[in-house]
Amino acid sequence: MSSSTTQSTYQPKTSVGKITNYVDSRVGGSGIVKEFGRKIFPDHWTFMFGEVALYSFVILLLSGTFLTFFYDPSMAETTYDGSYIPLRGVEMSEAYATSLNISFDIRGGLFMRQVHHWSALLFVAAVSVHMLRVFFTGAFRRPRELNWVVGGVLLILAMAAGFTGYSLPDDLLSGNGLRIIDGVIKAVPVVGTYISFFLFGGEFPGTVIIPRLYVLHILLIPAVILLLIAIHLFMVVTHKHTQFPGPGRTNDNVVGFPVGPVYAAKAGGFFFIVFGIIAAISAAFTINPIWNYGPYDPSPVSAGTQPDWYIGWVDGALRLMPGWVAGIPLEWNIAMPWGVNTLSLNVLIPALVPAGIVFGLMFAWPWIESWLTKDKREHHLLDRPRNAPFRTAVGVSGVVFYCIMWAAASSDLIATHFFVSLNDVTYWLRVLFFVGPVIGFMVAQRIALALQRKDREIALHGRETGRIVRLPHGEFIEVHEPLDEYKRYNLVNYESHGVLPAEADVNGHVTRTEKARGRLSRFFFEDRVAPVTPAELEAAHSHAHHDEIAEQHDKAAISK
Amino acid sequence: MADHSHGSPESTGVVARPGQGDVQKFQNPGLPPHRPRLADRDPRAEKRAERQVAILFLVSIIGTVLFFVGYFLIPLDETIATLRLQNLTLGLGTAFAMLGIGVGIVHWAKTLMPDHEVSEDRHEIRTEADRADAEKIINDIVEETGIKRRPLIRNTLLGAMILAPLPAVFIFRDLGPLPGDALRHTYWDSGTRLARDPSGTPIRASDVTIGSAFHVIPEGLSDSEHYLEEKAKAVVLLMRLNPESLNPSPGREDWGYEGIVAYSKICTHVGCPVALYEQQTHHLLCPCHQSTFDLTQECKVIFGPAVRPLPQLPISVDDEGYLIATSDFQQPVGPSFWERG
Amino acid sequence: MKALSQRRRHPLAAVALLLIGLLFTGGVYALASSTNEAKAQTFSADEVQEGEKLFVANCATCHGMGAVGSENGPSLVGVGAASVDFQVGTGRMPMQMQGPQAQVKPPQFNDEQTMQMAAYVASLGAGPAIPGEEALDTSEADPANGGVVFRVNCAMCHNAAAAGGALTRGKYAPALSGSTAKHTYEAMVTGPQNMPVFNDANITPEDKRDVIAFLETIDEQGSPGGADLGSLGPVSEGLFIWVAGLGVIIAFTVWLTARSS
């Protein structure tokens, strides 16, 4: 500590050097440069989605700030007299009128609105794809479980940011969306009516919901998102990035490009690329044409009333749920000592259960998996999705589950565009809601196992060249080109979890949860493909007519 | 975080350790040898890459100029075509400006900056020595506060900490009024005339021909203090069909007038306006979640997520021939709520 | 499910519905002359005669001799000339096959033949007449008011941007962008198929004109923000960002992380 008070004797020569030295000697920048200047980041195209999300968020902050200068979050009545003729003279709220002014009377306003909304859609999409990548490659495993949870919270916050923003123009579409939210809130037992009245400042729609959503949208939610992004990135630095397995890559190192100059240039350049793509989309494609929808009024509604895509799955669940099942209503009036209360299961179940399943499993998965596999080690090497068939199958099952609800949210558009009955679409999706995830699980698991077998085949016998050669004794064979050791290592270097039967604990008891774990382990890992071992390769190579023997070895290795 | 390899091309990052190669597992062969790029071998290719990067940056400059052309030279004149052109110009200008920089920098990094992959060791996230030090520090801190030895202080502090946030919760009480019985009443009352939405002009029974659908609000609604809130509960759909198609239940025979019936437009599911009337099937469809109500069965739910039928507004005709409500709705309109009963 | 769709496809189901519906509309127009004055339209006896011939040859199979209706088609007595002009002029009639609703297709008859059939049907009973030039003249109309009327009365089925929407069991409300002013007007006064009737007491002729002006305005102006993606709202927007937006971004990430040759 005492030595730090000694003044450095360094004298910079250039003027840039002088300024840099002035700042550095006061904030300690040299240490940061030393720490991060040459830090290594692995490179893979699937590692870029987190950056896409981050950059979309930055673009959201930039374009959103512009919009706040012209938007007035007021529900006071006004008469529109702006440039858009089909609405001139119509009564509307200040919020809607100023949104129209941004679109029609502020130069570049429409462009900024479209940039803001397109990047919002991209933001949530990028967060989702990023999480799917992390899931399917097993990047959530120790030590990154907590960062996975932070990411999940960020996804929920991204959806919240999107929904609060969607409502701000106070147009007919978003107004009906708010009304649906109000209806769902009112279905909540005991406190629902009160929450609704507190949220809307009285009865729906009231005059305060837009300003309140505005504060959430521009202050509270972005602030929390920023905080969590900081935590998220801090943990990425602490853990260092994961990497795909491959030659030269181990669980103890990280192979890639140094931050300066290559990684910084690529990542920095990528921000401009993402911005450029969003700008190009906003230039040529309309998003949220609020002028079509008209001002919010509780009486009208438009056909095709849907939320933005990330809320769609919940809306789809609401659509799929039947109000009556086999003649039994799903809304119950329950006699209580103080009167009769209403429990609206037809609303509560679809609003809470699918979201509970998806988010519950998502947040808990790192611990579920390590409990199932008893694998508590640190993992810095990723799994190729095919090399973890159980996880890939679970993930695909979840994606199918989500997509069926998502499709249900556009059941009316599916009906009109594919010339089928709206009711039939709903009936089919109700069936798929239960059957789809099961089929998804089975198909994905089989495909993953098949790909693993194909990898084994290639690792053992090389690539098929397509060249057919006739041997002297008349036999035709296809020439297989052996792999070099680097390519082969890519195919053989993975861990394959086997069945771990239930084990007794220290007291010699086999607990019920342990028994359940054993059964699940059997279910998930019964079918597995083991990686090729050097011995097997040796055996495959040492025989001239290797095909039969290799087959035997394959059979031995693929325990069924 | 010491001992980084600093990206020197000589460092191949071979990490295979002796003794790992066995018959069970393949030995890690180490990083594959570096293949030089075109620009590394051929000075002309290097020059070409340099020119390409510069051209991309020029594209960016042109994009920025294009933005200003769109901003200043395309004056908005209230026509949609001009606005569309301006939006396109501003957008493409920005897109080129950004993509030029982005693609240029990345191309530069890919072709001209070193492309040797470098290996860096990972470190333990928490070393045992650090843990022991930290534990000792925390124990010392706790010890110095003496909180373990002074339960009185500890317990009173806990009590204070639990209570202190409560005002922060209760201060939000005035976010809105209590529900009271607001959800049980609408603007409709005995004698209120049915009026067209949004003009507010009253409707005669003779105006409503068979097959018609009128979107209705109570007359005088525009004078209401809470126009939108009242409208959100009071909107009604008025239809006329052959009286023989209606099958009113006992007690509701006189709720319609010569085949004219009025039903709440607010869905009993989550409150969207159920406004789609099919005049031949007599079905009402909600466009939000597809609940379908059958008008000939007093708007019973025949499909979709709703459970309860739409509430019917009892109507009649006054001496001037105008349609009037004979009372308010007999039950709360719209979605269910806990206290509904 | 199969049973339901089969029942829906049962030829008699649609016909029965059409029959009931059109009988009502026809009957109502005959009765409720106070609200919808059956405008005395002058068709020559010649036109009526020619129309009858066309009717017998092309329509009577389903609608019966004298248009009194049959098992396969409703009575057309009192549906008015507007109804014939709409149904035949948009190609919906004659129907190609029985289905949830009659489909738009290229008209099977020319204007003159359509007029003749309209004349014949109009001669059978009073009904809404084909609107004249002055009813369709939108030069003085107010598209903003038309928009208000449209959103309250039409948008729930036809979509706020008139892009169309789904009804129950395979029926749908069509998109309105290709519809002529005359056909739009006729649809409002006659209530074809499952569309409710919007008589002049409900939507005044001035308001109908405003609605047509509104539709023409949004059709002509296009979207200021660029391609409108079918005006289908958040669904097409979401699909676009997932397919096109993320597609382009993935292409860039692959390029960005690939080794330069």
With H, G, I as helix, E, B as strand and everything else as coil, classify residue C227. strand
Instruction: State residue C24's pLDDT score.
Output: 52
Can you tell me the distance from the alpha carbon of A478 to that of B104, in angstroms, rounded to the nearest whole number? 46
Instruction: State residue B67's pLDDT score.
Output: 95
**Interface contact B87-C226, CB threshold 8 A:** yes
**pLDDT interval class at C21 (50, 70, 90):** low
Chain B CB contacts of A319 under 8 Å are 289-290, 304-305
Cis-peptide, bond into residue A472, ω within 30° of zero: no
Can you tell me the distance from the alpha carbon of C212 to that of C180, in angstroms, rounded to the nearest whole number? 9
Selected residue of A43, A45, A405 to mutate for chain C interface (largest C Cβ count, 10 A)? A45
**Interface contact C25-B211, CB threshold 8 A:** yes
Q: Are A356 and A401 in contact (CB under 8 A)?
A: no
Can you tell me the distance from the alpha carbon of A409 to that of C232, in angstroms, rounded to the nearest whole number? 13
* Nearest to C169, CA basis, from A503, B292, B313: B292
Section A427-448 average pLDDT? 95
Q: Bridge-partner residues for A255, per DSSP? A: B119
CA atoms within 13 A on the CB side of A229: 17
**pLDDT interval class at A265 (50, 70, 90):** very high
**What ipTM score was computed for the predicted complex, to two decimals?**
0.90
Within an 8 Å CB–CB cutoff, is residue C14 touching chain A? no
- For residues B1 and C131, the model is more confident at C131
Section A421-441 average pLDDT? 94
Please tell me which residue of chain B has the smallest CA distance to A268: B102
Q: Residue C19: pLDDT above 60?
A: no
Instruction: State residue C59's pLDDT score.
Output: 84
Section B227-254 average pLDDT? 89
**pLDDT interval class at C13 (50, 70, 90):** low
Instruction: State residue C61's pLDDT score.
Output: 82
Within an 8 Å CB–CB cutoff, is residue B85 touching chain C? no
**Interface contact B278-C167, CB threshold 8 A:** yes
Q: Residue A231: pLDDT above 90?
A: yes
Instruction: State residue B244's pLDDT score.
Output: 87
**pLDDT interval class at A37 (50, 70, 90):** confident
Mean pLDDT (chain C) is 81
Per CATH, domain B183-325 is 2.102.10.10: yes
With H, G, I as helix, E, B as strand and everything else as coil, classify residue B301. strand
Q: What is the pLDDT of residues C92-110, one digit of tens each?
A: 888 877 777 888 888 888 8
Distance from CA of B42 to the nearest CA of A (A): 21
Query: Which of A220-234, B176-190, C24-38 comes out lowest in average pLDDT?
Result: C24-38
Chain A residues 100-129 with a CB less than 8 Å from chain B: 104-105, 107-108, 110-111, 114
Within an 8 Å CB–CB cutoff, is residue B215 touching chain C? yes
Q: Are A401 and A466 in contact (CB under 8 A)?
A: no
Q: Are B275 and B265 in contact (CB under 8 A)?
A: yes
Q: Are A248 and B14 in contact (CB under 8 A)?
A: yes
Section B231-238 average pLDDT? 93
Q: What is the pLDDT of residues A370-381, one digit of tens each?
A: 999 888 999 999
Instruction: State residue A548's pLDDT score.
Output: 47
Within an 8 Å CB–CB cutoff, is residue A400 touching chain C? no
- For residues B24 and B225, the model is more confident at B225
Selected residue of B228, B285, B303 to mutate for chain A interface (largest A Cβ count, 10 A)? B228
Within an 8 Å CB–CB cutoff, is residue B252 touching chain C? no
**Interface contact C225-A415, CB threshold 8 A:** no
Contacts of C243 (CB under 8 A, 6+ apart): none
Q: What is the pLDDT of residues A460-490, one digit of tens each?
A: 888 888 888 888 888 888 888 888 888 888 8
Contacts of A252 (CB under 8 A, 6+ apart): A380, B15, B121, B122
Which CATH architecture group holds C1-130?
Answer: Orthogonal Bundle (1.10)
C233 to each of A53, A97, B80, C165, C214, how far by Cα in Å?
Answer: 23, 20, 19, 12, 19
Can you tell me the distance from the alpha carbon of B274 to that of B256, in angstroms, rounded to the nearest whole number? 19
Can you tell me the distance from the alpha carbon of A409 to that of A319, in angstroms, rounded to the nearest whole number? 7
Section C40-68 average pLDDT? 80
Instruction: State residue C88's pLDDT score.
Output: 86
Distance from CA of B59 to the nearest CA of C (A): 18
**Interface contact A415-C170, CB threshold 8 A:** yes
Q: Are B246 and C162 in contact (CB under 8 A)?
A: no
Can you tell me the distance from the alpha carbon of C35 to that of B211, in angstroms, rounded to the nearest whole number? 14
Q: Are B296 and B278 in contact (CB under 8 A)?
A: no
Number of A:C CB contacts under 8 A?
208
Can you tell me the distance from the alpha carbon of C52 to that of C120, in angstroms, rounded to the nearest whole number? 6
Q: Residue A7: pLDDT above 80?
A: no
Distance from CA of C218 to the nearest CA of B (A): 10
Which of A91-105, A461-475, A517-531 has the largest mean confidence?
A91-105
Q: Residue A559: pLDDT above 60?
A: no
**pLDDT interval class at A399 (50, 70, 90):** very high
Instruction: State residue A69's pLDDT score.
Output: 96
**Interface contact A270-B92, CB threshold 8 A:** no
Instruction: State residue C20's pLDDT score.
Output: 54
Within an 8 Å CB–CB cutoff, is residue B287 touching chain C? yes
Any chains having at least 3 CB pairs less than 8 A from chain B are A, C
- Token look-up 């192979």 returns A255
Residue A109 dihedral angles phi and psi, to the nearest 5°: -65, -45
What tokens were used for A535? 């011995």
Instruction: State residue B194's pLDDT score.
Output: 93
- For residues A155 and C75, the model is more confident at A155
Chain A residues 535-554 with a CB less than 8 Å from chain B: 535, 538
* Nearest to C129, CA basis, from C168, C185, C52, C202: C185
**pLDDT interval class at A2 (50, 70, 90):** very low
Beta strands in A55-102 (DSSP E): 77-79, 91-93
Q: Residue B153: pLDDT above 80?
A: yes
Instruction: Say what percent of chain B tops pLDDT 90.
Output: 62
Query: Which of A119-128, A422-431, B245-254, C235-244 comes out lowest in average pLDDT?
Result: B245-254
Q: Are C243 and A285 in contact (CB under 8 A)?
A: no
Any chains having at least 3 CB pairs less than 8 A from chain A are B, C
CA atoms within 13 A on the CB side of B131: 5
Instruction: Say what percent of chain A tops pLDDT 70.
Output: 95
Q: Residue C4: pLDDT above 80?
A: no
Within an 8 Å CB–CB cutoff, is residue B292 touching chain C? yes
Section A163-170 average pLDDT? 94
DSSP states of A340-409 as a string?
EEEEEHHHHHHHHHHHHHHHHHHHHHHHHHHHHHT--S---BPPPGGG-HHHHHHHHHHHHHHHHHHHHT
Mean pLDDT (chain A) is 90
What tokens were used for C36? 């919808």
Pick the CATH number of C131-222 from 1.10.3720.10, 3.30.420.40, 2.60.120.10, 1.10.760.10: 1.10.760.10
User: Hey, where are the domains in chain A?
Assistant: 2-33, 37-298, 384-497+530-560
DSSP states of C119-185 as a string?
HHHHHHS--PPPP-HHHH--TT--HHHHHHHHHHHTHHHH-TTS--EE-STT-EEPP-TT--HHHHH
Q: Are B216 and B242 in contact (CB under 8 A)?
A: no
Instruction: State residue C18's pLDDT score.
Output: 52
Query: How many Å from the N-terminal Cα to the C-terminal Cα in chain C?
Result: 58
Instruction: Say what percent of chain C tops pLDDT 90.
Output: 20
User: Hey, where are the domains in chain B?
Assistant: 38-111, 129-175, 183-325
DSSP states of A208-259 as a string?
THHHHHHHIIIIIHHHHHHHHHHHHHHHHHHH---B--BTTB-TTEEEEEEI
A340 to each of A79, A177, A184, A332, B267, how far by Cα in Å?
Answer: 45, 29, 20, 10, 22
Residue A170 dihedral angles phi and psi, to the nearest 5°: 60, 40
Instruction: State residue C32's pLDDT score.
Output: 44
Any chains having at least 3 CB pairs less than 8 A from chain C are A, B
Fold of A37-298: Cytochrome Bc1 Complex; Chain C (1.20.810)
Which strand (E) or helix (H) includes residue A324?
strand A324-325
Q: Bridge-partner residues for A469, per DSSP? A: A477
Within an 8 Å CB–CB cutoff, is residue B280 touching chain C? yes
Can you tell me the distance from the alpha carbon of C41 to that of C119, in angstroms, rounded to the nearest whole number? 9
Looking at residue B171, its amino acid is I
Within an 8 Å CB–CB cutoff, is residue B40 touching chain A? no
Residue C201 is classified by DSSP as T
Which strand (E) or helix (H) includes residue C234?
helix C234-240
Instruction: State residue A537's pLDDT score.
Output: 83
Please tell me which residue of chain A has the smallest CA distance to B270: A183
Q: Are B242 and B229 in contact (CB under 8 A)?
A: no
Instruction: State residue B41's pLDDT score.
Output: 87
Can you tell me the distance from the alpha carbon of A78 to that of A93, in angstroms, rounded to the nearest whole number? 6
Q: Residue B125: pLDDT above 90?
A: no
Q: Residue A550: pLDDT above 70?
A: no
- For residues C47 and A458, the model is more confident at A458
* Nearest to A547, CA basis, from A462, A452, A472, A474: A462
Query: CA angle, A467 as apex, A465 and A472 as ends, to 5°?
Result: 130
Q: Residue C35: pLDDT above 80?
A: no
**pLDDT interval class at B251 (50, 70, 90):** confident
Selected residue of B212, B221, B236, B302 to mutate for chain C interface (largest C Cβ count, 10 A)? B212
Instruction: State residue C76's pLDDT score.
Output: 83
Can you tell me the distance from the alpha carbon of A495 to that of C189, in angstroms, rounded to the nearest whole number? 73
Chain C CB contacts of B205 under 8 Å are none
Q: Are C122 and C81 in contact (CB under 8 A)?
A: yes
**Interface contact A250-B183, CB threshold 8 A:** no
